[in-house]
Amino acid sequence: MQVCLVHATTRSACFELQTGTCYKAPAPFEVLLDGQPVLTGAETNVFSLYHLEPARTYRLEVMAGEDCGSLEFTTSTESFFVDASRFGLTADGVSDNTAFLQAALSSCPPGGTVYVPAGTYRTQSLFLCSDTTLYLEKGCTLLGGTDRREYPVLPGVLPCANEKDEFYLGLWEGNPLDSFAGLINVIHAKNVNITGEGCINANADKGDWYENPKERRIAWRPRLFFTNNAENVTLHGVEICNSYSWTIHPTYSCGVNILQLHIHNHANSPNTDGIDPESCRDVNIIGDYVHVGDDCIALKSGKLFLGVVKHIPCENVTIRNCCLSRGHGGLVIGSEMSGGVRNVTVTQCLMDHTDRGLRVKTRRGRGKNAVIDGLVFRNVEMRHVLTPFVINMFYFCDPDGKSDYVQSHDALPLDDATPRLGSLTMENITATDAEYAGCWFSGLPEQPIERVEMRNVSIAFAPDAGAGTAAMMCNADPCKKLAIRAENVRSIALHNVRLEGYEGERLQFTNVESFEEE
């Protein structure tokens, strides 16, 4: 058995077993630290330890029957330990602790840890500083306030002194618009850790955040966790729930680690995506459990304006050993992807009762920089995913989403607003109890999908499957047990692709230039 260190902070560490299974380990295991048992009956490939000492080297052993593995690791150094309770906190879940928590965070010297003990602390927006760690003790809850008037507004645009460069701070669905600050914010900061066994509960279900969710009131809805122009940020271990809108939303940041979070939003909560990196580079999403009211993980890079002005793709993303449950899509790209998305690898993930598994969504109007390329999707298990694979270039989002310009299946002139999809590779995937369709691939007639390659893929339909719409586009009739539908694709390669329980023709192709199967 091989075990690897994923990330270590001053007082916690995250580890990963190297197995071939999706999310869960082959068998329960025990963890010993310096020869003493600290974790028994662990079941997931990714696990964490807490209450460690700073700057100390430990020996870790993992044992599952006769199989075992070990390693040595060292926690980070710590300059100061800042107990936030000394700043005047009141742990009654009612009193406003925003100023006291912010005082602790702002006062922490570089290299220090801000420790929040057990208790429920109501708070509004908090802003973290560079070179600090926020540690939430088990039994600690940061509870979001419900009055939107108490949240600061992040302006969409900040003018620059040279009158040429603007800074886009507040963001809403891919555009620079005035938005409320998140509950936890990391802006222009680096080397920041948020860790521990505590809970960050935005408490949005107790306020008016879900009423008329597409309506701007004072400003657009906040996210639970938000970064902008940050570097080396890690969010690890904590429970995250009841977000206002998108839950984890790093933007224009690099070196982002999202590790073994437990994210839970109500299934009917509007637009509460789980993890949405936007125009970020070098992102690791490892060991997370996500159960939300919209897409579980969505990779984005803004709408047309930001795609043209900033042209910053979301790139070099690793998603591994995650459980994605009940969302609209498991792994989603788009639809705000005008800066492009590239070099994405998804492995060893379990998708459970999501509407779609791999979901790519874009549309005319996203722009010539809206290029998706280098997506590898392998070693994934899908259980009762209604449609395992959807690639849709007619996504009917935005006010003009159902217009002839977006929805026409006639070839339109290529222009600066036409998106492009490159190569997508899917291999070693098992999907059981699918319902609507196995694969739905819809490219643009003037800009077909370049290549779809599937290898060692098995899709089985539920015997009692119901009918529904596989792709969110106009004139997509409800379907049931549809095997593979493809239109406007330059090249499709199917290697050992097995489909069971489908109805009608196995392959329904329109304008597919090259096809190979073995």
Integer-rounded Cα radius of gyration of the chain: 23
Please indicate, yes or no, whether residues 14 and 33 belong to a single structural domain of this protein.
yes
Same domain, 232 and 331: no
Task: State the number of CA atoms in the 13 A half-sphere of 416 facing the CB.
Answer: 4
| SS3 label, residue 176 | strand
Give the pLDDT score at 163. Answer: 66
Output the pLDDT for position 305. 94
* CATH number reported for the structural domain that contains residue 477 in this entry: 2.160.20.10
Q: How many domains does the chain have?
A: 3
Answer for the pair 364, 392: CB distance below 8 angstroms, yes or no. Answer: no
Do 62 and 91 reside in the same domain of the chain? no
> Taking the chain (518 residues) in consecutive chunks of 10 residues, what is each chunk's mean pLDDT?
96 97 97 97 97 98 94 98 98 98 98 98 98 98 97 95 85 97 98 98 97 96 98 98 98 98 96 98 98 97 94 97 95 96 97 97 95 94 98 95 96 95 95 98 98 97 97 96 98 98 97 96
Catalytic residue among 273, 288, 294, 295: 294
Mark whether 365 and 223 lie in a shared domain: no
Q: Which of 226, 233, 255, 102 is nearest to 168 (CA)?
A: 226
Q: Tell me, yes or no, whether 110 and 18 share the same domain.
A: no
Do 224 and 185 contact (CB within 8 A), yes or no? no
pLDDT score for 162:
79
| Same domain as 353, residue 500 | yes
* CATH number, residue 46: 2.60.40.10
Q: Choose the final residue of a domain: 46, 74, 102.
A: 74
Q: Is 294 a catalytic residue?
A: yes
Q: Are 245 and 340 part of one and the same domain?
A: no
Residues 398 and 448 in one domain: yes
Regarding whether 329 and 373 lie in a shared domain, the answer is yes
Judgement on whether residues 60 and 162 belong to the same structural domain of the protein: no
Q: Where are the beta strands (DSSP E) in 353-478?
A: 356-361, 371-383, 387-392, 420-421, 423-434, 437-442, 449-461
H or E segment to which residue 47 belongs? strand 46-49
311: annotated active-site residue: no
* Dihedral sign computed on CA atoms, order 186, 191, 192, 193: positive
Q: Do 145 and 34 lie in a common domain?
A: no
Residues 163 and 240 in one domain: yes
pTM score over 0.85: yes
Domain interval for residue 312: 295-518
Is residue 289 in a domain?
no
Q: Where are the beta strands (DSSP E) in 170-224?
A: 171-172, 175-176, 179-180, 184-187, 190-196, 199-201
Active-site residue, from 273, 328, 352, 373: 328
